Structure 1
């Protein structure tokens, strides 16, 4: 082949190129960002509008309908859906797949601004943002101990500042704990006596709690800026606010209300194993290395734990870096073990030297693939890692055929250079064709439409890159290496593989002769087996699913109560559930979240507090340490929480694979 002949003509240049690819491949591999999921721009925009204290019906009428009316003017919206809860409306606009997401966000923001005059004047500012996989936290850290929630929150706030300084961290969200505020409890009888309303008090506080600019003063060669500080520093200043003057006498705020430091009303409760907790959710920037961020977070936690008060500790949950770390280790181990096994297997048929010349195709093809993957801007995410592991077994196919044929030609008396040329030319077309047919089997997946198609496209693209690299290695590098290092081995006839072939070939020859003499019988048996497989699959198959139902690492106990249920009443039911699941086998810990539920299809990064909903997340120990299949444990948890009074309790597991929504969804 022309490409092989050219490579053999410039052997020195090929060896230099091999060295450059090895160094560049290692640099690319070490520099590739590692993350859980590929960064996908989904053609979906969310409008979130908080309006505290308003019923769901009024949220729909006053907020959702005016915004929806404007959004319907945008072309290329394939689906528009709104959900109105108490004090919160969420509107999701799904666009056609060819719509640019930045353009979609711009258009939605414009229409929301146009709808602003039709909304209530005191409604909060609507939040417009795209659906983003990056809004899924990579790690959840819970601070738990026998201290007050105020103290736990102070510890969490200190950690939050440290985590946000880590390169690659986008945001650290803090939830739980108590937030201090100044409470002004007005006395209605005193207001009535002085003929005042709440608006008078609100206006007085607002006008006094200001820092105002006072212009500038010139003094000699200098110019000084003047400001008038007026923000409150203590409660006494608040008490001395003059709300109104009546008959020459000042009416102070302290005369109308009791003023004291208190805490905001809690919108949710969080506990770990029945102990109150404050949580930190860590979000990373797109394309950043999840393993490096995870290592740095854990390093900070180990250092800061020495300064925690007695009895305070932390728990790390939902650590996405754990699975990615395992897959990266699997890839590295598979490359090394694959090379060893290939050399070992080929030793039995081709000898140690020839086996090594074939095995070198594995790391070389991988390094070449890493260069291309890095150049394309890909990250080492689950889909790419899975594709690389899948391709490992196919990387040596081309090299085996080419090296074996070169060896045969050299055995026939040709010199190494001529053997490399003739041996590669003889099988080059067949090797190229076989690789192309393999690529053709995966190429249709590249054109899979929609968000799931974009998610899954990483698999065929990575396989195409890796197998193309193995073809290049087989046609360019293997002949050059063989022409320099291949040697005839007089012990080839004594190798175990050669003896096995001598034993099996006569039997194979007899079988082939019989098959050729009885073609109708062989074709009939083949057709029968083919139809039999179709029959078995049709009647004994277990159906089709997008992602396999893997053994869960968590169990989600979702608790739903009647709309309007107070947070305290929901918390009482959650405590009952906690008591029931306390002795669950293989359980590491359980996290109770009263006022919130996890929704894997919500990427808005926020949401309304729902006092009538709650969730208990049960984390199982690692699989080797479990005493039973976690599916059995899942059923046991479901049996324990069945018939919980006053609530609907469902036990599920986290969804495997990319978020795809429910299997069947009926909207009335």
Structure 2
């Protein structure tokens, strides 16, 4: 071991070249690594919604909750199961232990829901399973508001939504605060009577036609082609031309007995911003993407896309998490720089300027190499990583101070500089190695901490281990 160490130390140019390359790579990694406030901890949590229109909370508990609970309780790795019965629905929150694989948990939940679905009453809709991921919450909300017609605001919001989803780091842009658009059909009773069409015939004609019907396949001997009968309503013209009754050569369409117009669903609530009608667009970033860069790209896209909009439509932003992330990381970076400055002042006072510079190089060099490993293992820069850097500031200089002080003493005794530092490295290698190993041993048990808190805190010992 000592022979290998001495062989490395007698090649200073090679050592300096490798260190410079690693430091530069670390700087590049620091600039490109995604930054966020808190570590991304994937916790397997699922929401199951069962809708049964008109059912009371008591009946929902008996007919919806109990059959579903019976199956879900047998899930492997289940931590907590919460069920809520309400008027017309039942909702279940299924939480697994953090060690459970998320894909396996999702597969098991779907299997259990399929088994329980056969015990649900006939009027119940198919259960809706939704995976809850804390990282898939909006990182910024763009709100359109102004004294303009609702359709104008909705049209601009929908176009902006499509534009925002074209950003590579945006997973989804979700509209909220708007009413769902639909076609309103107003039946003329007198015309129904004149054509002798009953309401049941009218409803049957609509429900039977608005569907996609597979018609099998056609085998021509040279190839096989699937055939389908298009029957879905796409435009208002499709609805108006729907045949309701056929008598001889005459065809009565829906447009002959009704008025059809575009409108919105009845309002169940109102969205206002600064006292004016508003539609919000919630932006959800992709996992692992940089929240600061994503939100900056969103702002830039909105500014460019809304340049030619009417002056009466305004855009504002709320819940911009990048501001909090940038503020938190900036404060921690300032704390790290302050800690480095204080350590350097103490080292200069104790060893002198020349020795202090040699000791001080170890801090930024170790940090940059640590960032290189952070990027290599696919981690993000967050508050726990920065706290780990703060902890290592004082620990990093301990070994360097010991080696530099011993080398200075040998140079004072007349030994050559190069030989003095080689001798100091050989003499102090095992004591410094043992000291660093005991420090790392104190942090290793934190990697075995179970649960969500353990996953959250694991970033701290990983940072300390990589930097030291």
CA distance in 1, matches of 2:52, 2:443: 50
Give the match for residue 15 of structure 1.
16
Relative contact order, higher structure (CA 8 A, sep 6+): 2
- CA contact under 8 A between 1:8 and 1:417: conserved in structure 2? no
1:294: how far off?
1.4
Secondary structure in structure 2 of the residue aligned to 1:170:
strand
- CA contact under 8 A between 2:37 and 2:329: conserved in structure 1? no
CA distance in 2, matches of 1:332, 1:76: 39
Give the match for residue 452 of structure 1.
453
1:462-473 matches, cutoff 5 A = 462-466=463-467, 468=468
Give the match for residue 287 of structure 2.
286
1:133-532 matches, cutoff 5 A = 133-185=134-186, 196-198=198-200, 200-209=201-210, 232=233, 238=239, 241-244=242-245, 253=254, 259-330=260-331, 332-333=333-334, 339=340, 341-466=342-467, 468=468
1:10: how far off?
3.4
Residues 238 and 51 (structure 1 numbering): CA distance in 2 closer, same or farther, change over 3 Å?
same
Secondary structure in structure 1 of the residue aligned to 2:45:
strand
CA distance in 2, matches of 1:130, 1:328: 30
1:251: how far off?
6.8
Give the match for residue 133 of structure 2.
132
- CA contact under 8 A between 1:342 and 1:355: conserved in structure 2? no
CA distance in 1, matches of 2:240, 2:306: 41
CA distance in 2, matches of 1:241, 1:27: 63
Secondary structure in structure 1 of the residue aligned to 2:300:
helix
Kindly provide the CA deviation profile for residues 123-181 of structure 1, in whole angstroms up to 9, marking residues without a partner as x. Answer: 44323344322222111111122223322222221221111111121111111123321
1:355: how far off?
1.6
CA distance in 2, matches of 1:128, 1:232: 28
TM-score, length of structure 1 as denominator length: 0.61
Question: What number of residue pairs does the alignment pair up?
Answer: 465
CA distance in 1, matches of 2:149, 2:395: 59
Give the match for residue 119 of structure 2.
118
Bigger mean CA deviation after superposition, 206-215 or 264-273: 206-215
- CA contact under 8 A between 2:343 and 2:394: conserved in structure 1? no
CA distance in 2, matches of 1:64, 1:224: 45
Kindly provide the CA deviation profile for residues 347-368 of structure 1, in whole angstroms up to 9, marking residues without a partner as x. Answer: 3333322221111111110111
1:48: how far off?
2.8
CA distance in 2, matches of 1:451, 1:259: 54
CA distance in 2, matches of 1:91, 1:216: 42
- CA contact under 8 A between 2:43 and 2:97: conserved in structure 1? no
Secondary structure in structure 2 of the residue aligned to 1:316:
strand
Bigger mean CA deviation after superposition, 165-174 or 67-76: 67-76
**Residues 1:29 and 2:34 aligned together:** no
CA distance in 2, matches of 1:463, 1:407: 29
Secondary structure in structure 2 of the residue aligned to 1:279:
strand
- CA contact under 8 A between 1:409 and 1:419: conserved in structure 2? yes
1:32: how far off?
1.6
Residues 52 and 436 (structure 1 numbering): CA distance in 2 closer, same or farther, change over 3 Å?
farther
- CA contact under 8 A between 2:333 and 2:386: conserved in structure 1? no
CA distance in 1, matches of 2:227, 2:45: 49
Kindly provide the CA deviation profile for residues 314-369 of structure 1, in whole angstroms up to 9, marking residues without a partner as x. Answer: 22122121222234444555565555554444333333222211111111101111
Secondary structure in structure 1 of the residue aligned to 2:118:
helix
Residues 335 and 37 (structure 1 numbering): CA distance in 2 closer, same or farther, change over 3 Å?
closer
1:249: how far off?
8.8
Secondary structure in structure 2 of the residue aligned to 1:396:
helix
Kindly provide the CA deviation profile for residues 529-554 of structure 1, in whole angstroms up to 9, marking residues without a partner as x. Answer: xxxxxxxxxxxxxxxxxxxxxxxxxx
Residues 269 and 358 (structure 1 numbering): CA distance in 2 closer, same or farther, change over 3 Å?
same
Secondary structure in structure 2 of the residue aligned to 1:147:
coil
- CA contact under 8 A between 2:329 and 2:383: conserved in structure 1? no
CA distance in 1, matches of 2:76, 2:348: 65
Give the match for residue 91 of structure 1.
92
Bigger mean CA deviation after superposition, 83-92 or 252-261: 252-261
CA distance in 2, matches of 1:80, 1:431: 51
- CA contact under 8 A between 2:410 and 2:420: conserved in structure 1? yes
1:109: how far off?
0.6
Secondary structure in structure 1 of the residue aligned to 2:43:
strand
Kindly provide the CA deviation profile for residues 203-223 of structure 1, in whole angstroms up to 9, marking residues without a partner as x. Answer: 311333467789999xxx9x9
CA distance in 2, matches of 1:446, 1:41: 16
- CA contact under 8 A between 1:153 and 1:176: conserved in structure 2? no
TM-score, length of structure 2 as denominator length: 0.85
CA distance in 2, matches of 1:280, 1:272: 13
- CA contact under 8 A between 1:216 and 1:224: conserved in structure 2? yes
- CA contact under 8 A between 1:83 and 1:89: conserved in structure 2? yes
Q: What stretches of structure 2 of length at least 5 have no aligned partner?
A: none
1:296: how far off?
0.8
Residues 444 and 89 (structure 1 numbering): CA distance in 2 closer, same or farther, change over 3 Å?
same
**CA-based RMSD:** 3.8
